[in-house]
């Protein structure tokens, strides 16, 4: 039988518990997934796991017991790349120790699948970002005896339609609303690994979220996209419209979205930040550099002045909002003056926190072709200066939290200096740690809504006392 003739969705359950697809039996198997990079990749991992569960696969955290291993890769940062190559190289020991299938997925697999299959003998197959939902067919091929194959085709259809797949069982969910990016910033590989922009319809996303709220108990969502502000443009819709439609879903408490491009922050969206009751009081708005000449070389399409105008308008619409950003230190040929411009921007923009990285060249991008005189030592020193200044600024901004009460959704606990402390994330994305109330030391606060009064802060942490425990569901009586 030709593998392509098999209906992968025609699955029969046998008396012994195995699943029969075509002529192949799938006994219960364990799958292990290593995910690198952004929230979109973690969302993709959930989709893969969900698609493979009908084929008798269950997820394990123990790679040594895995029958199938997936490395879901990220091509944005060099560190994530190097970790992946190291981990994949180490998987030869898994292959030698037992019968195991190994696959590479995601952004690196999208652009380097043939090279990966040639270099790593233990790798059975590789597949790209636009064929995630076909993983069942690829796994069938692998267990039918096919090996050393890659699938990196693009979805050619004009429409983008999916249903959110979840395996975590938590009240938080990632919702992919747009895929791809049309910006082609000079340093960024995303348009080559994720393709061009396509948006789901507003009605589809709203129905999807309503289903998750009603049947899965979801209360907090994060709308995902490489450039989420471009959502709906090709369909005559908008992110602002989508947020206001989602606002009407009873039981949905918090709406977040990421990642934004400053050029596409519209006045309509800014206004929603002032009127929506469920939209998070946090916005991640990547600036990348505080120098106009660097921004021009990055092909970012905006100036520092335009960025600050958008920032000021957002803060006017919602004075309680906090802003975070991304900074690239040492873009090719960045001068000392251009670096100092970024330090000045940090002082003016007053970010709550930043993600900062040294520039790393990505093959195939325009910046990779630039002559570059900067050394590793210069980049490292500039990154340290950026991070040092930001931490000093964060000490000041976090100190303003002391005495204020924040509502958090508790995500788990850890041990700090021998003391068990729970942690929750507020709607403004700040994590606050707390100890249980007296007499409640054995209480499981996981996924409870709790009001916390902040008692102390540092640049990187907040401590609070319990004011009120509201349970796992908010009611009209305890809404803020």
In the chain, the domains with their CATH numbers are 3-151 (3.40.50.12160), 172-397 (3.80.30.20), 405-471 (2.40.50.140)
In this predicted structure, what is the pLDDT of residue 1?
A: 40
Q: pLDDT tier at 169 (50, 70, 90 boundaries)? A: confident
pLDDT > 90 in the chain, percent? 87
Place of tokens 């916390």: 452
Residue 7 above 90 pLDDT? no
What pLDDT band is residue 138 in, cutting at 50, 70 and 90? Answer: very high
Of 161-165, 277-281, 301-305, 400-404, the range with the lowest mean pLDDT is 161-165
**37 pLDDT exceeds 90?**
no
Tell me: pLDDT of 410 over 50. yes
What is the phi-psi region of residue 145: left when phi exceeds 0, alpha when psi lies from -120 to 50, beta otherwise? left
With a cut of 80, say whether residue 78 has pLDDT above it: no
Q: What is the mean pLDDT of residues 416-424?
A: 91
pLDDT at 457: 97
> How far, in Å, are 8, 140, 443 from residue 450 at the CA level?
45, 46, 13
Contact criterion met (CB below 8 Å) for 314 and 306: no
Rounded-to-integer distance, Cα 404 and Cα 408, Å:
13
Reading the block at residue 450, the tokens are 């709790």
Q: Give the max Cα distance, the chain.
A: 72
Mean pLDDT of 264-280: 97
Three-class SS state of 382: helix
pLDDT tier for residue 3 given thresholds of 50, 70 and 90: low
Taking the C-alpha atoms of residue 27 and residue 150, their distance in angstroms, rounded to an integer, is 25
Confidence of residue 477 (pLDDT cuts 50, 70, 90): low
How large a percentage of the chain has pLDDT more than 70?
98
Q: Is 90 exceeded by the pLDDT of residue 156?
A: no
- CA 380, 386, 388, 390 dihedral sign is negative
The yes-or-no verdict on residue 184 having pLDDT over 90 is: yes
**H or E segment at 210?**
helix 202-216
Angle among Cα 213, 31, 92 to the nearest 5 degrees reads: 145
pLDDT tens, residue by residue, 307-319: 999 999 999 999 9
């Amino acid at each position: 039988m030709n593998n392509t003739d098999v209906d992968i969705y025609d699955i029969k359950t046998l008396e012994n518990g195995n699943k029969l697809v075509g002529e192949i039996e799938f006994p219960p198997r364990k799958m292990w997934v290593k995910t690198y990079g952004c929230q979109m990749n973690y969302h993709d991992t959930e989709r893969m796991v969900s698609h493979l569960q009908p084929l008798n696969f269950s997820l394990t955290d123990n790679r040594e017991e895995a029958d199938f291993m997936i490395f879901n890769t990220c091509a944005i940062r060099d560190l994530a790349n190097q970790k992946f190559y190291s981990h994949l190289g180490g998987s030869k020991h898994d292959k030698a120790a037992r019968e195991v299938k190994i696959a590479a997925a995601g952004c690196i697999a999208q652009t380097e699948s043939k090279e990966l299959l040639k270099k790593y003998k233990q790798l059975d197959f590789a597949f790209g970002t636009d064929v995630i939902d076909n993983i069942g067919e690829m796994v069938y091929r692998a267990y039918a005896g096919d090996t050393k194959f890659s699938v990196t085709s693009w979805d050619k259809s004009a429409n983008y339609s999916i249903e959110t797949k979840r395996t975590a069982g938590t009240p938080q969910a990632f919702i992919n609303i747009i895929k791809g990016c049309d910006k082609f910033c000079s340093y960024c590989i995303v348009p080559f690994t994720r393709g061009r922009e396509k948006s789901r319809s507003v009605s589809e996303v709203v129905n999807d979220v309503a289903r998750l709220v009603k049947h899965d108990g979801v209360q907090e969502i994060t709308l995902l996209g490489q450039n989420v502000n471009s959502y709906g443009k090709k369909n005559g819709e908008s992110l602002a419209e989508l947020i206001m439609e989602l606002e009407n879903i009873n039981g949905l408490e918090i709406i977040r979205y990421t990642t934004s491009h400053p050029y596409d922050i519209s006045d309509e969206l800014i206004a929603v930040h002032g009127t929506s009751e469920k939209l998070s009081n946090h916005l991640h708005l990547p600036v990348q550099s505080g120098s106009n000449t660097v921004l021009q070389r990055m092909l970012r399409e905006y100036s520092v002045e335009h960025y600050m105008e958008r920032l000021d308008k957002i803060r006017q619409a919602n004075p309680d909002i906090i802003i975070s950003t991304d900074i690239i230190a040492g873009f090719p040929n960045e001068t000392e003056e251009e670096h100092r411009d970024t330090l000045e921007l940090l002082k003016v923009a007053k970010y709550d926190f930043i993600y900062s990285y040294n520039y790393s060249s990505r093959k195939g991008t325009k910046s990779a072709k630039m002559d570059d005189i900067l050394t590793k030592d210069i980049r490292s020193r500039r990154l340290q200066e950026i991070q040092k200044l930001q931490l000093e600024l964060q000490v000041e901004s976090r100190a303003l939290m002391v005495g204020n009460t924040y509502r958090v959704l508790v995500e788990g606990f850890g041990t700090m200096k021998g003391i068990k402390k729970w942690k929750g994330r507020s709607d403004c994305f700040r994590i606050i740690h707390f100890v249980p109330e007296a007499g409640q030391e054995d209480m499981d606060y996981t996924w409870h809504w709790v009001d916390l009064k902040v008692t102390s802060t540092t640049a990187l942490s907040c401590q609070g006392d319990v004011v009120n425990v509201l349970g796992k569901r908010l009611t009209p009586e305890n809404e803020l």
